[in-house]
Amino acid sequence: MIEALKNDDLIFKVGGRFKLAALIQKRWGELLEGARPLVDRKPGMTMMELVVQEILEDKIAIDYDHSDIPRPEDIIILPRRLSK
Q: Across the chain, what does the average pLDDT equal?
A: 87
| This model's pTM is above 0.85 | no
Whether the Cβ atoms of residue 2 and residue 52 lie closer than 8 Å to each other: yes
Name the residue type at position 33.
Answer: E
Predicted confidence (pLDDT) per residue in 26-67, tens digit: 999 999 999 999 999 999 999 999 999 999 999 999 888 888
Question: Burial letters for 44-69: b for 16+ Cβ neighbours within 10 Å, e otherwise?
Answer: eeeeebbbbbbbeeeebebeeeeeee
